[in-house]
Amino acid sequence: MVPSERRERSHGRIRVATYNVHGCRGTDGRVDPSRIAEVLTALRVDVAALQELDSGRSRSGGLDQARAIASHMRMDFHFHAVHQIQGGEYGNAILSAWPLRRVQAAPLPSLGEPRGALWASVALPGTNVEIITTHLGLRRRERAMQVSALLGPQWLNSPDLRKKPTILLGDFNAVPWSMAYRTLARHFHSALSKGAPTFPSQFALLKLDHVMTRNGPRIVSQEVPQRPPFRTASDHLPLLAHVDVDAY
């Protein structure tokens, strides 16, 4: 269910977050999807991209974590499993306070742990915005392959997406001076916030999580909240961006 108060609230600006939730396992060792939902609710998030979610895995009690978080927040969602493991799945999700249509979900080239990307279209009042989330690999060569795939004809350079309002976000495992980040930044706008690293959550040093836009949406500001509950819920901190959306 999509809360009607969310649909009526904003005037051209939405709150978008990317958050690596680490299987909803906090730095205290406790697995608790409701704690992730509480973090996102406290940030008044309209659209969220989540990475490292479990579904049906024994380590997480067999729970569908994306569904549990979306249900708690009364949001629409889509989950993409990138890995089959422990009798369950592991992957990424997009949640939205507005109706959400899954367009594409597919693996990306990987040298180690499987990686993928998820594309969904969010039906905002007056316009649609395309949301793509990903979780890039740990190796530089692997990230280069994945960025090349994302910028190719199956994804960001496809006829169906090339000119549409788009927000790309996720855990890139790449700092702003890395080749992977700089390659994406040549095609997107970003709003780097100095002094806003996201990992590790207890003492954040590295800015690995990013939000980028093109073809209309514009990042006005972004923040990395660091209150104690946010430092405990996952090994990453959430990145929140305030995005102006054209024609919205």
**Predicted confidence (pLDDT) per residue in 9-65, tens digit:** 455 899 999 999 999 999 999 999 999 999 999 999 999 999 999 998 888 888 999
Tell me the percentage of the chain whose pLDDT exceeds 90.
83
Q: How far is residue 131's CA from residue 216's CA, in Å, rounded to a whole number?
A: 13
134 to 17, 61, 232, 240: CA distances (angstroms): 13, 25, 23, 16
**Predicted confidence (pLDDT) per residue in 112-166, tens digit:** 899 999 999 999 988 999 999 999 999 999 999 999 999 999 999 999 999 999 9
ω before 153 within 30° of 0 (cis)?
no
What pLDDT band is residue 195 in, cutting at 50, 70 and 90?
Answer: low
DSSP, res 193: -
Q: How far is residue 8's CA from residue 5's CA, in Å, rounded to a whole number?
A: 5
Q: How far is residue 124's CA from residue 205's CA, in Å, rounded to a whole number?
A: 35
Q: How far is residue 133's CA from residue 119's CA, in Å, rounded to a whole number?
A: 7
Q: Is the pTM of this model over 0.85?
A: yes
Q: How far is residue 81's CA from residue 205's CA, in Å, rounded to a whole number?
A: 29
**Predicted confidence (pLDDT) per residue in 157-180, tens digit:** 999 999 999 999 999 999 999 999
- Beta partners for 166? 130, 214
